[in-house]
């Protein structure tokens, strides 16, 4: 079934319209294996050519224009803007505007109110005339959607920094939150690591309530400039929403009467917490939002622009800038070198690059040097657990994650390293740490164990994205797969993980994908893990997954799934075929023993047919996830590493290929 996008009516599913044309365009006489071999060779050459001299790989991590808009607003607030940076950022923001004047948060997605407001404000700061056609179209659409008052809290916080919104009309985050003990509801460790790193500095901002005089008004973004913040209706008092709305009202009163010594001490403690978690490169957690808010918070507490902490933080943010050309600047929300490197190593090894190839050894050496041996926030829930994981970014000792760690281990085991003992020692420590991060139910979250409290999501402040880190099928699958290849398939940790995965399978046969889009990703992760753990291809759970994947294959032979599958079940496994999602489906089918099936052959042919002449694939679609639906990611290497992995396993073997390589 092929899906096309229609924002007004939902997914449309024309049947059997493209397959025959696509097949006719193929060199029909060439066997699928020959086409796969040629495509894999080209893709291998492309990937090897892009390895950094230090041994790592990193593709661009594209999100949406709020990153660029907030970067410009930060520079305006701090008074450090410069003409070249402003013009280059504005050029990128304009290039992402849709024909109707709006901005969205993923390729082909619907318009998004907060993204449009932030982009509009950034362009005004860059000097764009509000009467210009592209600006007038944006402001008119914003008013139609309810204006600034209808935007998310984070957007209104940014506007409050310039006096475009009243602090009294925002939820309160008291800095005294830093004193809540770890067992107390809504203590900072009840939040996911990305959320707590953002919330702690914002408690300082919320207490200080700064206003940097704005250079213009934003009356054109209000439905009624004379009454920009109409009262919001309270939910039922007996509901969680009602409880927290009333709590927020009480906190507004507390803000006015808070004891000054206590408040000063709380802000000081919060600042110490922030500074302690600054990474060696100056960033916080390796991601842009905590870094931005941490810099603002510390600046409000008197840290000068020349203070080493602030200088290092600003320098780190500059490192997130990608310049597509000398006149255009895009901001990455994060950087993914460890993730990209381990996935690249797996792809190259599975495609036939020799295990002792110097380039794989160099990548392994780089990864080994990046292993984290410091206690981070994860140790709050797992005190006494020795460290040993890997993070996602270049510098992030505070927040290693189980997902990266599992994939790094799988990558290292594909390399015949000259110092095998060094690899064994690193893997042993990483396996111990990962196993120890298992949550009570038998599964794994990404950054913390048992980070499952439902309360943080109920706060009025938390109206954007996931703020907790519960276990997910994709992360759990990667850990189970890693444990199985380490000979621990019968270990209680792995068996509990398998049991959890089997219980989480949807009635359709698919698995939900937390960190990738969506059910195709979850299923592409779960099936190889379950097979590696010993389930036969004939197991009912595997057969249900195979049937589901075969049933949702697009007419052109590929697979695709739109991000709208997160809020709307009608979009599940429906979307334009993409290289990464086609690869995920193939990885599951190949693991299930479907090497010779028509679905696999059609998928392989689709990958071979759509490959570019330079050896990679086009993929403007976003297939990665930060927060399901709310924050989407286009990992620019996904379009390459996953297809190469799938082609390699099609050519050289399925789920047992790694074991055969190790024995050989």
Active site residues: 403
Residues forming a β-bridge with 661 = none
Rounded Cα–Cα distance for residues 401 and 446 (Å): 5
Report yes or no: 351 and 645 within 8 Å, Cβ to Cβ.
yes
- What does the chain come to in residues? 664
Rounded Cα–Cα distance for residues 84 and 70 (Å): 16
H helices of 236-287, where?
A: 240-257, 260-276
Token readout for 287 is: 């991601």
Q: Measured at the alpha carbon of residue 97, what is the angle toward residues 92 and 100, in degrees to the nearest 5?
A: 170
Rounded Cα–Cα distance for residues 147 and 165 (Å): 12
Report yes or no: 503 and 543 within 8 Å, Cβ to Cβ.
no
Report yes or no: 327 and 87 within 8 Å, Cβ to Cβ.
yes
Token readout for 637 is: 């290497």
Rounded Cα–Cα distance for residues 118 and 107 (Å): 18
DSSP 389: -
Report yes or no: 624 and 517 within 8 Å, Cβ to Cβ.
yes
Rounded Cα–Cα distance for residues 134 and 120 (Å): 9
Three-state secondary-structure class, residue 515 = coil
To which residue do tokens 């960033």 refer? 283
H helices of 505-630, where?
A: 519-532, 540-551, 579-591, 598-610
Count CB neighbours of 492 within 10 A: 11
């Amino acid at each position: 079934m092929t899906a096309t996008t229609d924002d007004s009516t939902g997914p449309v599913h024309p049947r059997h319209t493209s397959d025959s044309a696509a097949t006719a365009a193929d060199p029909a006489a060439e066997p699928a294996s020959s086409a796969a071999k040629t495509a894999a060779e080209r893709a291998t050459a492309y990937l090897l050519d892009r390895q950094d001299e230090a041994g790592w790989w990193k593709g661009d991590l594209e999100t949406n224009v709020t990153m660029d808009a907030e970067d410009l607003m930060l520079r305006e607030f701090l008074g450090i803007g410069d003409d070249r940076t402003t013009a280059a950022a504005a050029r990128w923001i304009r290039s992402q505007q849709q024909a109707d004047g709006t901005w969205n948060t993923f390729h082909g997605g619907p318009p998004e109110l907060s993204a449009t407001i932030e982009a509009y404000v950034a362009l005004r700061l860059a000097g764009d005339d509000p009467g210009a056609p592209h600006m007038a179209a944006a402001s008119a659409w914003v008013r139609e959607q309810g204006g600034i008052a209808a935007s998310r809290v984070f957007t209104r916080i940014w506007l409050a920094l310039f006096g475009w919104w009243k602090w009294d009309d925002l939820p309160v985050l008291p800095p005294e939150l830093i004193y809540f003990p770890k067992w107390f509801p809504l203590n900072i460790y009840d939040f996911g690591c990305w959320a707590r790193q953002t919330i702690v500095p914002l408690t300082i901002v919320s207490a200080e309530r700064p206003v940097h005089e704005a250079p213009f008004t934003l009356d054109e973004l209000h439905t009624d400039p004379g009454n920009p913040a109409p009262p919001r209706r309270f939910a039922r008092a007996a509901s969680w929403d009602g409880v927290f709305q009333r709590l927020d009202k009480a906190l507004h009163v507390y803000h006015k009467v808070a004891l000054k010594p206590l408040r000063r001490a709380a802000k000081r403690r919060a600042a110490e917490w922030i500074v302690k978690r600054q990474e060696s490169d100056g960033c916080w957690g390796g991601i842009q939002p905590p870094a931005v808010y941490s810099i603002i918070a510390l600046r409000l507490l008197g840290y000068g622009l020349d203070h080493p902490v602030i200088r290092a933080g600003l320098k780190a943010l500059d490192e997130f800038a990608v310049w597509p050309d000398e006149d255009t600047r895009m901001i990455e929300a994060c950087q993914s070198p460890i993730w990209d490197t381990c996935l690249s190593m797996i792809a190259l090894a599975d495609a036939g690059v020799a295990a002792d190839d110097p380039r794989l050894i160099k990548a392994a050496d780089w990864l080994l040097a990046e292993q984290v041996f410091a206690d981070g926030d994860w140790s709050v829930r797992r005190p006494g657990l020795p460290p040993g994981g890997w993070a996602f970014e270049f510098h992030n000792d505070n927040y290693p994650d189980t997902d990266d760690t599992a994939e790094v281990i799988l990558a290292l085991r594909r390399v015949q390293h000259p110092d095998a003992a060094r690899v064994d020692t690193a893997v042993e420590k990483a396996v111990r740490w990962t196993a120890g991060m298992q949550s009570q139910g038998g599964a794994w979250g990404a950054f913390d164990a048992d980070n499952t409290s439902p309360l943080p999501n109920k706060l009025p402040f938390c109206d954007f994205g996931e703020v907790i880190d519960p276990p997910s099928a994709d992360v759990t699958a990667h850990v189970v797969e890693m444990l199985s290849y380490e000979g621990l398939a019968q270990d209680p940790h792995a068996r509990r993980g398998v049991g959890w995965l089997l219980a989480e399978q949807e009635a359709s046969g698919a698995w939900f994908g937390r960190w990738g889009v969506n059910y195709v990703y979850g299923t592409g992760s779960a099936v190889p893990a379950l097979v590696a753990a010993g389930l036969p291809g004939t197991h009912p759970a595997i057969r249900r997954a195979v049937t589901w994947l075969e049933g949702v294959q697009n007419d052109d032979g590929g697979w695709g799934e739109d991000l709208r599958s997160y809020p709307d079940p009608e979009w599940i496994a429906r979307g334009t075929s993409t290289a990464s999602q086609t690869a995920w489906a193939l990885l599951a089918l190949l693991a299930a023993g479907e090497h010779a099936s028509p679905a696999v052959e059609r998928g392989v042919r689709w990958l071979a047919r759509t490959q570019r002449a330079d050896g990679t694939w086009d993929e403007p679609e976003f297939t990665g996830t930060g927060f399901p639906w709310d924050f989407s990611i286009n990992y620019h290497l996904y379009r390459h590493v996953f297809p190469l992995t799938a082609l390699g396993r099609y050519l050289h073997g399925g789920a047992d290929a790694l074991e055969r390589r190790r024995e050989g």
